[in-house]
Amino acid sequence: MSENNNKNQNTTKTNIDKDLNKNEANLRNIFKNADDIVFRKIEGGQNQKINMLLVYVDGMTTKEAISEYAVQNLMMNLNLENLEKSPDNEILNAVSKTNIAILEVKALLTLEECVDKMLSGETVLLIDTCTKGIMLSSRGWPMRGVQEPSAETLIRGARDGFNETMKVNITLIRRRIRDPKLKVKYTQVGSRSKTDMAIMYIEDLVNKTVLDTVEKRIKNIDIEAILESSYIEEMIEDDSYSLFPQIENTERPDAAASALLEGRVVIAVDNTPTVLIAPAIFVSFMQSSEDYYERWLPSCITRMIRYVALPIVMLLPALYVAVTQFHPNMLPTQLALYVAASRANVPFPPYFEALLMELVIELVREASMRITTPVGSTIGLVGGLVIGQSSVEAGLITPLAVIIVALTAIASFTIPSYNFSTTLRMIRFAFIILAAVFGLFGISIGLSVLIIHLCTLKSCGIPYMSPLSSFIENRSDLKDTIIRPRIKNMVRKPTYLQAEKEKGN
């Protein structure tokens, strides 16, 4: 893949000139009014002197390393005899191979390359009479340490999480997969931000069709800036109008490593602690890393509880509306009498009750997220209880409605994926409206439309409902869906993720 994937970017290149002063003038013009760009002129060589120019961005480089391992050697130890007769490549070789004690150096041909490297934190060395520059690896800026991801906490399992530095994130994955077949492809996206990205996969496990699809879609991204991995997620998913997430994301290195071992593709984006995983299917959002760290029987029960919670999150308030408003005869006599008595003094119909309480719960949830973490969860819990109790005492809603909404809110917390849980909560409002208009018939219509949509949805070309949609042909793929099998029985990868050579065996 090319280093720059943007159609809008100007392709005109300016070659490095032999005249050092001209190169400096061009760079100063490019970085006009940018006071954090440092230009440092030095004279290198022992007997014969040669003018050199170091250029870097203040705050993005480790100046101590450049001073100790480059500048000092160039000024004190550089020996260039017969300087006027030496061609460019000999001068560059003498400088880069014998006088720069830095591991990573690279020849640069154009000023645009120099600018790109500087803005990535590298130092550029330009030498008088040379038509090439030298990149000196010097990246170094304040960064957050490796911490446990707050959104994906586990009782048992690794405590490290990704941070905002892409190379640190790649290292955390490589620590877990020490396989030379783990490949990393670097690219840049964003005509202005030039955000670094890495596409990671295991060569002999990845589905080549999925890999080609991901690479092609990333290559076709045309945007000025990528500030977070969600930009990439939105631009490479199959159906951006669908509520359902089609690209998985995680802040856990062990989850990313597990996805790679399944044959999936991981996309790491600089400046964000969240990596993307493709393809993503329906059942993957119901799985948690902790499922594989606990014993298999408790994990099976926990996962089945999630699948029980799934229809509760989507349908319970809608069923309450449909039954109380259209089909009260379906309730047992005692319960029907209780519901009728509790609704005697309530001024609002059941659907308004449900919508009002769901809206209140969403407001409390959003408010708790914006408040300091130790206080936020407490305010969310206490706020929900106080509002619910006060509403019942004021006669605005029935106690049963509070119970229904509270049970639905609790069930939503059992869904491991925040994005998927948010989708289910949004769908819940649609089902409440359908139930308010058509009763149980409306819920049936909504479920039919939802199932059809899920069965037609794809993620990087892989059916979203795999392996449920193909269980007749590949029954073995169902072993890690609703239940979690024993580790020794999880040797074979799902058919839809297998490489071509594996499918042939």
> Are 163 and 207 in a shared domain?
yes
Question: Residue 377 falls within a domain, yes or no?
Answer: yes
Contact 285, 201 (CB under 8 A): no
> Are 205 and 345 in a shared domain?
no
Q: Is the pLDDT of residue 270 over 50?
A: yes
> Are 180 and 71 in a shared domain?
no
pLDDT per position as a tens digit, 95-112: 877 788 888 889 899 999
Domain edge (last residue) among 253, 280, 307? 280
The model's pTM is: 0.86
Question: Residue 220 falls within a domain, yes or no?
Answer: yes
Question: Residue 214 falls within a domain, yes or no?
Answer: yes
The helix (run of H) or strand (run of E) holding residue 107 is: strand 105-108
Q: Is the pLDDT of residue 114 over 70?
A: yes
> Are 364 and 405 in a shared domain?
yes
In whole angstroms, what is the distance from residue 254 CA to residue 361 CA?
A: 33
Question: Residue 6 falls within a domain, yes or no?
Answer: no
Contacts within 8 Å (CB) and 24+ apart, 76-82 = 76/46, 77/46, 78/44, 78/45, 78/46, 78/50, 79/45, 79/46, 79/47, 80/44, 80/45, 80/48, 80/50, 81/47, 81/48
Question: Residue 493 falls within a domain, yes or no?
Answer: no
Q: Which two tokens stand for residue 348?
A: 């609002």
Question: Residue 3 falls within a domain, yes or no?
Answer: no
Q: What is the mean pLDDT of residues 192-216?
A: 93
Q: Is the pLDDT of residue 79 over 70?
A: yes
> Are 93 and 128 in a shared domain?
yes
> Are 322 and 448 in a shared domain?
yes
> Are 243 and 333 in a shared domain?
no
Domain edge (last residue) among 252, 280, 308? 280
> Are 311 and 336 in a shared domain?
yes
Contact 86, 64 (CB under 8 A): no
Domain span including residue 254: 150-280
Q: pLDDT exceeding 70 applies to what percent of the chain?
A: 91
Question: Residue 501 falls within a domain, yes or no?
Answer: no
> Are 251 and 371 in a shared domain?
no
pLDDT per position as a tens digit, 21-47: 999 999 999 999 999 999 999 888 777
> Are 122 and 231 in a shared domain?
no
415 Cβ contact partners less than 8 Å away, ≥ 6 residues apart: 285, 286, 306, 309, 310, 313, 421, 424
CA-to-CA separations, 388 to 188, 398, 425, 485, in angstroms, rounded: 50, 10, 19, 41
Domain edge (last residue) among 110, 136, 162? 136
Question: Residue 503 falls within a domain, yes or no?
Answer: no
> Tell me, what's the pLDDT at 375?
62
> Are 128 and 162 in a shared domain?
no
> Are 213 and 66 in a shared domain?
no
Report the domain count for the chain: 3
Rounded to a whole number of angstroms, the CA Rg of the chain reads 30
pLDDT per position as a tens digit, 149-164: 878 888 888 889 999 9
